[in-house]
Structure 1
Amino acid sequence: MHSFAFITSLLSLTLLFFSLFPTSAHAATAEQWRSRSIYQIITDRFALPDPSSPNLLTVPNPNCNPGDQTWCGGTWQSIISNLDYIQGMGFTAIWISPVSENYDGPRTPYGDAYHGYWSQNVTALNPRMGTPDDLKALSNALHARGMYLMVDIVANNVITLNYTDPDLSKFAFTSTDMYHPYCPIDFSNQTSIEHCWLGDTVVALMDVNTENQDVINIYNTWIASLVQEYQIDGLRIDAAKHVRKDFWPGFCSAAGVFCMGEVFGGDVPYNAGYQGPGALASVLDYPIYDYLVSAFTIPGPGNISGLVDGLHQGQELYQDMSVLGTFLENQDNPRWANLSVDPQSLWNAMVWQFLAGGIPIVYYGQEQGLRGNADPYNREPLWPTGYANTTTYQITATLNQLRNFLIANAPDFLTSNVTVLGTSSNEVAIARGPLVAVMTNRGSPPVNATMGIFNTGFMAGQPLTEILYCKQVTSGSEGTLLVDYSSGGHASIFMRTNDLRGSGLCGQYTDVNPDMNGLSAASAARAVRVRLGGWVMMAGLILAGLVFLS
């Protein structure tokens, strides 16, 4: 791993990245978002403001307990004060929890609306998070750093504590025909998913009638104004599958920015149906999340083949996998450390997330090893960690640094297909652009095992660098590689040493190699030659002249 000193080179590379790919404070497209990586924040839980700050509606609580389900005091201004921490990991965008006014009355049986998803008046800002000037200041601070702002949007529903006779006077939608009649959701029926209410009869989420033209007009006018006023670069759409698909193109067109929808759960064909001109530019890749959990958590089923099948199915069905949101944690699912006892399992899954997925999204606290179970325990405060420079923080920075370097210097990296070079019950090897990556679910303990990789696209005797541990290796006959797990189940990322020039990784600070894309022809060839399951035993590998990485 790298020391914190290497952050200077990371920030220098980030500035180069932004000079080559200028940012826009408005109308950011899917193509521009493709090159981003996102740090997801629940505003109330990321950082505490100075208690003497003006306009605070919540007393900052340093002893925040997520089980209390109440406000702890984070604000938009306190995010600004901690942007160095986020940019130190190499992130080029943040996604913040919803900014609209939420319910703020007597405590409900499920706590208070600290999370931002209990929308009341969508057209007003949430004063708990700050003032309009504070949100503008956050947007400006991000853009000054060349970073993007993504805002979470709740358009499907509003909250009521009286589902039989709700008071509509506090809402932007004030007549009954602007809502679908109450019904519990039958998740086996798509019409029910779109028209019936989330929540329950205690805290009900009234389903907004997005077929109503007055509702459509209000929403489109509001979102256009919000994006323009606060110079928002992208939207994350909450509960997107609970709204008819053909509502979203008009809404996102009015916004004028990239939209990524939450289609919770579901398989690849269902999720893929929400990406395209008739729906959204992007969705969160929930199927791959499930496959990554199944493949890498310890203990777990170790289902590597399911992950590969999911990748191939996605390549067939999604219109553009490079703009899907790839995540390992979020506010609705257990933390990775709650599911898996071994940190190597996270680090291996992260290699897939950053190098084989679409737009990587890291939920705040993943880098600190937070381990809460489902809601509300996965919404912990971050400040008790001291924002430490953990191993996962450093690995995140390395993966971002590598990805940003490749985006700037190998422009076809993000749009090139991921090729599976081989699998075993414990490993998967992939190639994308100029790199080869090997991930395993073996875990941290040393094991007497090796794995060989063929059709890498490297030449025989090619000097290579393994990037996570900065080890120098040489490819074997026909470019083959051998990974040795005698020091534990680490992930490996290989590139030609010459191609790392100028990256700042592993001491490579000299000029960028102009032949960065030199593996393109080899990459195309290996896609044809690839042999799934092309792993051989150790004796055969020695005879083939392969190289060990320990």
Structure 2
Amino acid sequence: MRSFPSKLLALVCGAATVLGCKSKEEPLPSPVPPTDSLHVASPDWRDQILYFVMTDRFANGDPSNDNQGAGEFDPANGAKYSGGDLKGLLEKLDYIQGLGATGVWITPPVANQWWDPLVNYGGYHGYWARNFTQVDPHMGTLEDYQRLSRGLHERGMYLVQDIVLNHMANCFRYTSYNPADVTAGVVLNRDAKPGCGPTQAPFDQWDPTNPAHRAAGAFHWTPTIDNYSERNQELNYQLADLDDLNTENPAVLAALKDSYNFWIREVGVDGFRVDTAFYVPQATFKDFLYSSDTQHPGVLVQARSLGKEGFLAFGEGFSSDNAFEDTATRKVASYMKDPATGEDLLPSMLNFPLYRTAGDVFARGRPTSELAHRLALSQTLFARPHLMPLFLDNHDVDRFLTGGSEAALRQGLLFMMTVPGIPVVYYGTEQGFTAQRGAMFREGVDSGGRDHFDTSAPLYALLREVTSLRKQHAVFRRGVPTVLRQNAARGGVFAYKMEGEGQVAFVIFNTSDEETLLDNLPTGLTDGSELKLLTSLGGGAGDAHVGRGGGLSLKLPARAARVYMPTGRGTPPPAETARITLTNTSGATVGGDFELSGTATGVATFKVVVDGALGTASTVTVNGDGTWRTVVSTAGMVDPNIQHALVAWAEEPQVFSGTLTFRVNRTFVTLLTHEDPANDDVGPEGRYHYPTDATWGENHQGDLRRVTVQGAGTVLKLALQTNRVTTVWSPQNGFDHVAFTVYIDVPGRTGLTVMPRQNASLPTGMDWDYHVRVHGWSNGLFNPIGASATEDGAPVSPTAAITVDQPTHTVSLTLPGELFGGLTHLSGVKVYVTTWDYDGGYRPLVPAAEQWKFWGGDGATDPLVLDDTPVLTVP
């Protein structure tokens, strides 16, 4: 059994003598300038913060390489090259380092297929290789890349290169497939630019119609994946028509090792991010990383020979779990350590499961217990959690701000900087980007005609602050978290303690959009202990003191966060002068509102706070005999599996009752049902068609068949039945190839009629106060503030809860009762439902047939609506 490099293993144990690890480290020391700036020793990756750049979209240092004359360059077209390059990146290192990043991760700089006419898209991103050992002319030259490496190393920074083992460019595809005759049904991509087929051996043997190429077996002669849950397809079929490499072929694996060892040797790359790792067998990584073959050594072996003992390779496993599930998490873990043999595989993987749950909690308002579970699972299931890159968004998913507020993003960034892992900031996050792959430079696509390297931008300043916090306190880089408080019912308090390197810190969030009460957080400290505030989000922050029994109690503003560290000093708290008791017994299940009673001394009034929500807390007056009673509203509570908690609290003097827990078992009632005609998913004028790709086929995922509106209290549930629910692309929300956009009109409120980004307005007699947009990988809820024909409006949380009933082809959206504040029932609420599809934006509409676009209209002016309902009014 191969052993993992001992020094890299030590990164997660805090050994004092390995890679400069110290048992009690305070701020990071200034790096010593290297004597040979191309090759430097590996850092302790736990201490690094990466800035992820899509090179073509970042900075244009050499306009002369923008256009290679193949029709591939057009900064006005998001499918084509915009002009960013390696020289431009080098020129912006001050900007990146000023943010607090210590390393730069770039998309593949290798020679690429520039334009694929079969999909009408370009390879500006770098993942469609033609030659793994050449720099693409759009990116610059090998010398430019070496200058970038030296420029980073001379600053004490590091370089991570994106690499691909699974596939190359799309040079052949199948219109039909017969495994007994792989020459049948083949379409060769003859018009691809700059040419058809890789130029590097053995990958230049790519043509399935050529007997010699077939015999060489460098590729799998297979069609595109149509079932991502089937392991054989995942490993051996083409991902989105990209030619799938046969990595079990020794010649292929040797060439891959040689190719990527080239970049370590010639450029001094310090780490690799391995694209599409799930599509490569785990066994491939044993050879690719650790092979002792002197002619074709593994990349970690090659790196060690150049003094890079801790070379980092982390894989992309694009998969995540629903709340409290762990199937995807275990799959990610299986690429770090072989579950059968215990052998080490990739040193690290991107933490996709934590990305998903962090977005659900911070952006979409899910209960903080979901993040508590996911954070704990990351520590127990992953072999090396401190080496796993953490992220909030990237080039393959929606930007955080397309569905989350800036306040939520600020919380997510602070979270990322205070838990185990390597934080990754996707370029443009610090400038508030919403375009998934927009350019930072003014000539590039979606730049708005201006440069975006603004060091005074609010999010840039926030990142500078939180990266500094991480650097100054080793406990955030190397400590271990323990969750101290979570909310099982809703957004609200999420608090954890970080311990390690001889330090303790407390990190506290209020993920709710309303003021929240934190009561008696168990700190384990002595009464009256002083807590120094290290950083905060939201107003009213300052140093704090622990109360009686070692509990910390705080009133937290909406979207606030507090980070504290004990000083070792303290002042004993004053003697207790008041008391509140509850008569009710914990653990009951109720069917609706219920009476709460008890006694109180030393206070005249107090509040009953349910699930931490101060905004909806009721005020109770104590009777002359010291008794009291009140009714607890359960209007917005419907899930019998959720345990709610309440506490009675008087702010002055600071006194709490014990905590009462309860559950609510409420039944949804059908309020109306709309039967929608079949086969009317053709647009308002009957002209639209689905994309020609076979994954749409005759499925008609956007054809509404029935919409059922249900209610329980003021909770609204919409059951949207379509012709067919598909999961072709393993969507995290349980359905794909359709997006539902739902508009809600609340009685007594004034909203808007424009339908953002859909080239349309609502039917007569309705305006919207909220609109919901959900598809397989996103879930957004917006109010009309700032909304227009081109802007969604202000993000709202919590978003809709999504459930999918595959057998009945039904997607259900449950909207929380908080949205309908002021109502006692749902009568008069209006609902309007539309379908389309979404992929970083509503899927384009074009006049003529295309593989990945709807067709039959003008996407600039025609409504982006496949099917819709009438306005549905709750009786």
Smaller-chain TM-score range?
0.7 to 0.9
Counterpart of 2:276 in structure 1: which amino acid? A
Q: Which residue, 27, 41, 44 being the options, matches 2:53?
A: 41
Question: Can you list the C-alpha shifts for 1:311-343, whole angstroms capped at 9, x where unaligned?
Answer: 222222111111111100100000010011x21
Q: Residues 529 and 568 of structure 2 are in contact (CA less than 8 Å); yes or no, is this contact kept in structure 1? A: no
| Alignment correspondent of 2:546 | 475
Tell me by how many angstroms 1:379 deviates: 8.4
Counterpart of 1:70 in structure 2: which amino acid? K
1:349 aligns with 2:437: no
1:252 aligns with 2:286: no
Q: Residues 197 and 205 of structure 1 are in contact (CA less than 8 Å); yes or no, is this contact kept in structure 2? A: yes
Q: Which residue, 221, 234, 242 being the options, matches 1:205?
A: 242
Q: Residues 64 and 381 of structure 1 are in contact (CA less than 8 Å); yes or no, is this contact kept in structure 2? A: no
| Alignment correspondent of 1:370 | 433
Question: Can you list the C-alpha shifts for 1:464-487, whole angstroms capped at 9, x where unaligned?
Answer: 23222473333333443223234x
- TM-score of the superposed pair, with normalisation by structure 2: 0.51
| Alignment correspondent of 1:187 | 228
| Alignment correspondent of 2:376 | 312
| Alignment correspondent of 2:681 | none
1:174 aligns with 2:188: no
Indicate the RMSD between aligned Cα atoms, in angstroms: 3.4
Q: Residues 648 and 656 of structure 2 are in contact (CA less than 8 Å); yes or no, is this contact kept in structure 1? A: no
Larger radius of gyration: 2
1:263 aligns with 2:330: no
Question: Can you list the C-alpha shifts for 1:227-250, whole angstroms capped at 9, x where unaligned?
Answer: 111000000000011011111132
Q: C-alpha separation between the residues in 2 aligned to 1:27 and 1:394?
A: 30
Counterpart of 1:69 in structure 2: which amino acid? A
Q: C-alpha separation between the residues in 2 aligned to 1:169 and 1:351?
A: 43
Q: Which residue, 141, 156, 167 being the options, matches 1:157?
A: 167
Q: C-alpha separation between the residues in 2 aligned to 1:22 and 1:318?
A: 36
- TM-score of the superposed pair, with normalisation by structure 1: 0.79
Label 1:56 to 1:303 Cα distance change in 2 as closer, same or farther (>3 A).
same
Q: C-alpha separation between the residues in 1 aligned to 2:35 and 2:418?
A: 22
Counterpart of 1:490 in structure 2: which amino acid? A
Question: Can you list the C-alpha shifts for 1:478-532, whole angstroms capped at 9, x where unaligned?
Answer: 443223234x321111113589xxxxxxxxxxxxxxxxxxxxxxxxxxxxxxxx9
Q: C-alpha separation between the residues in 1 aligned to 2:473 and 2:445?
A: 33
Label 1:477 to 1:454 Cα distance change in 2 as closer, same or farther (>3 A).
same
1:126 aligns with 2:170: no
| Alignment correspondent of 2:631 | none
Q: Which residue, 265, 270, 274 being the options, matches 1:237?
A: 274
Q: Residues 70 and 112 of structure 1 are in contact (CA less than 8 Å); yes or no, is this contact kept in structure 2? A: yes
Question: Can you list the C-alpha shifts for 1:255-288, whole angstroms capped at 9, x where unaligned?
Answer: 2221000000142111111112442111111111
Label 1:86 to 1:376 Cα distance change in 2 as closer, same or farther (>3 A).
closer
| Alignment correspondent of 1:522 | none
Structure 2 matches for 1:520-531, cutoff 5 A?
A: none
Tell me by how many angstroms 1:187 deviates: 1.0
Secondary structure in 1 matching 2:565:
strand
Question: Can you list the C-alpha shifts for 1:1-40, whole angstroms capped at 9, x where unaligned?
Answer: xxxxxxxxxxxx98725369999965866x7212211010
Label 1:332 to 1:399 Cα distance change in 2 as closer, same or farther (>3 A).
same
Question: Can you list the C-alpha shifts for 1:113-140, whole angstroms capped at 9, x where unaligned?
Answer: 1111111111222111011110000000
Secondary structure in 1 matching 2:169:
strand
Q: C-alpha separation between the residues in 2 aligned to 1:419 and 1:401?
A: 23
Q: Which residue, 529, 537, 555 being the options, matches 1:484?
A: 555
Label 1:273 to 1:534 Cα distance change in 2 as closer, same or farther (>3 A).
farther
Label 1:58 to 1:144 Cα distance change in 2 as closer, same or farther (>3 A).
farther
| Alignment correspondent of 1:452 | 519
Counterpart of 1:16 in structure 2: which amino acid? P
| Alignment correspondent of 1:18 | 31
Q: Residues 223 and 251 of structure 1 are in contact (CA less than 8 Å); yes or no, is this contact kept in structure 2? A: no
Tell me by how many angstroms 1:292 deviates: 0.9
Question: Can you list the C-alpha shifts for 1:44-85, whole angstroms capped at 9, x where unaligned?
Answer: 11112264xx655469x99944x5311111111111111111
Farther off after superposition, 89-98 or 116-125: 116-125
Q: Count residues with an aligned counterpart.
A: 481
Q: C-alpha separation between the residues in 1 aligned to 2:102 and 2:360?
A: 29
| Alignment correspondent of 1:222 | 259
Q: C-alpha separation between the residues in 1 aligned to 2:466 and 2:650?
A: 33
Secondary structure in 2 matching 1:16:
coil
Q: Residues 61 and 86 of structure 2 are in contact (CA less than 8 Å); yes or no, is this contact kept in structure 1? A: no
Q: Residues 464 and 474 of structure 1 are in contact (CA less than 8 Å); yes or no, is this contact kept in structure 2? A: yes
Counterpart of 2:237 in structure 1: which amino acid? C
Greater per-residue helix proportion? 1
Q: Residues 395 and 436 of structure 2 are in contact (CA less than 8 Å); yes or no, is this contact kept in structure 1? A: no
Identical-residue share of aligned pairs (%):
26
Structure 2 segments unaligned to the other structure (5+ residues): 1-25, 174-185, 189-195, 206-212, 291-297, 301-310, 321-327, 338-342, 570-642, 658-875
Q: C-alpha separation between the residues in 2 aligned to 1:107 and 1:474?
A: 65
Question: Can you list the C-alpha shifts for 1:142-200, whole angstroms capped at 9, x where unaligned?
Answer: 0011011000001211112432254546344133310011123221111210110011x
Label 1:216 to 1:146 Cα distance change in 2 as closer, same or farther (>3 A).
same
Q: C-alpha separation between the residues in 1 aligned to 2:480 and 2:346?
A: 22
Q: C-alpha separation between the residues in 2 aligned to 1:484 and 1:392?
A: 25
Query: Of the two structures, which has the highest relative contact order with CA contacts closer than 8 Å and spacing of 6 or more?
Result: 1
| Alignment correspondent of 1:387 | 454
1:139 aligns with 2:176: no
Counterpart of 1:271 in structure 2: which amino acid? V
Q: C-alpha separation between the residues in 1 aligned to 2:439 and 2:233?
A: 27
Tell me by how many angstroms 1:216 deviates: 1.1
| Alignment correspondent of 2:497 | 431
Tell me by how many angstroms 1:374 deviates: 8.4
Secondary structure in 2 matching 1:464:
strand
Q: Residues 235 and 259 of structure 1 are in contact (CA less than 8 Å); yes or no, is this contact kept in structure 2? A: yes
Q: C-alpha separation between the residues in 2 aligned to 1:472 and 1:306?
A: 29
Q: C-alpha separation between the residues in 1 aligned to 2:27 and 2:93?
A: 14
Q: C-alpha separation between the residues in 2 aligned to 1:224 and 1:255?
A: 6
Q: C-alpha separation between the residues in 2 aligned to 1:24 and 1:417?
A: 34
Secondary structure in 2 matching 1:84:
helix
